[in-house]
Amino acid sequence: MTPYPTHEFPKFVEYNGYFIDTRSGVISSSTKFYDWELLKNFIGQDVYWHSRGFQDNDDLPLGHRAYVVKVEGPDTDWIEQQSTKIAAPIFIINGIINDYGAVAHLSNVTWLPWIEWHYQIRSMLRDYSPSVHKNIKKKISCLSRMVRLNRMIAMAAVKTYFGTDAMISWHGCCYRPGDALQSQTGHAEFDQWLARYYDMSITTLHIDDFQMQYDVALRHDQDLFQRHTHDFHFDAYQQCAINVTNESFYTSGQRLHGIDITRPGPFLTEKTLKCLLGETAFIANGNFQTYHTLETLGFKFDYKLDLGYDQISSDLNRLCSMTDVLKTISDIDTMDLFQCTRSSCLANKEHIMSGKFFNICENINEQTVQHILTNIS
């Protein structure tokens, strides 16, 4: 199999890089599979495909042999609700590898490894050349389109430790009245970072042309917007020695029925994939075990930095430890930082372009499909 073929990219209204089909229904020959062709194995098996977004309140319909469900993020609450209504097996596949036993107490629910990152990378390489040109001018970049707690303290740390030696972009969304009152966590160190964030004068710098999102044409063309966010050639990736990924999800801890659990994860997006394709070192600002999970898939992060914070399951403790790493980086010469991370970045790019990463991921997905077939037979 050629891992990264060129073919027409489907419209965003039908496909956003994650779903096989935004319409739920029994998997059949009319299902639009796009990159998820392995699920064609379920045609004729009375397997119901359910595509669930952030705001959906829909329940799974009764009466099917099995259910394959794509949830957006680690939506354990909704899954538990469905398990009480459906007797048939429910299989969760949503681009997450580690379930950490989060649904082990649900007898009819299995959270299976399923990787989408190689499909998304294939999409990114259909639109953009893999060739990049490094021209290091600043030490670090830190981008965010939406305000989230993990991004707020990352920005506070970057502004504190790097000053003008950083490329930042908040896209006009750095502060809303009331945020300070709503964002006190009770974690002393974390709240100190939040307070520092609110006290700062954060200058919005549109270094990566994301202001295009406010153009009328782009607002009405989500396919164009999706392609735009996939571009790894921007200055933030090519003129900075390292990037803070500011991922969409950072909450790995959850208390369920009085028990502390770790949510399935990590959930990664183009924010991390752009660094891998852009040959850019990165500080993972997201879920627990981001580096560890990517290492199990063949990537290397021999950055000569202590990345042990990645192994801290407590969200606020992990994020505070991340700021310690940022402080350490601030004391390293920019070109020294670039050079000591360069071999890993090049190895990771080669791991993708050789097709090895694609094959590893596809093998995991094939095993998941086989597991489902075995358990509904």
Cis ω on the peptide bond leading into residue 266 (within 30° of 0)?
yes
| Domain boundary assignment for the chain | 25-116+360-376, 122-357
Going through 246-342 in order, the beta strands assigned E by DSSP cover 253-256, 259-262, 281-283
Q: How confident is the model at residue 19 (pLDDT cuts 50, 70, 90)?
A: very low
Summarize pLDDT for 254-276 with one digit per residue, the tens.
776 677 878 889 999 999 999 99
- Packed helices 334-353 and 270-277: angle between N→C axes, nearest 10 degrees: 100
Q: Give the residue with greater pLDDT, 29 vs 184.
A: 29
* Burial (0-12, 13-18, 19+ Cβ within 10 Å), 342: middle
pLDDT of 334 strictly over 50: yes
Contacts of 244 (CB under 8 A, 6+ apart): 140, 141, 142, 143, 154, 158, 282, 283, 285, 326
- Reported as type and span, the H/E element at residue 80 is helix 76-83
Looking at residue 36, its pLDDT comes to 84
Summarize pLDDT for 151-204 with one digit per residue, the tens.
989 999 999 999 889 998 876 555 554 555 556 788 999 999 988 887 775 555
3-state secondary structure of 217: helix
pTM, full prediction: 0.88
* Burial (0-12, 13-18, 19+ Cβ within 10 Å), 171: middle
At the second CATH level, the architecture of 122-357 is: 3-Layer(aba) Sandwich (3.40)
Summarize pLDDT for 119-162 with one digit per residue, the tens.
999 989 998 999 999 999 999 999 887 778 899 899 999 999 99
Instruction: Indicate left, alpha or beta for 29 from its phi (over 0: left) and psi (-120 to 50: alpha).
Output: alpha
Summarize pLDDT for 217-241 with one digit per residue, the tens.
444 455 555 667 889 998 899 999 9
Q: What does the H/E/C string look like for 292-306?
A: HHHHHCCCCCCCCCC
| Interval 79-103 mean pLDDT | 92
The encoded tokens of residue 295 equal 């290492």
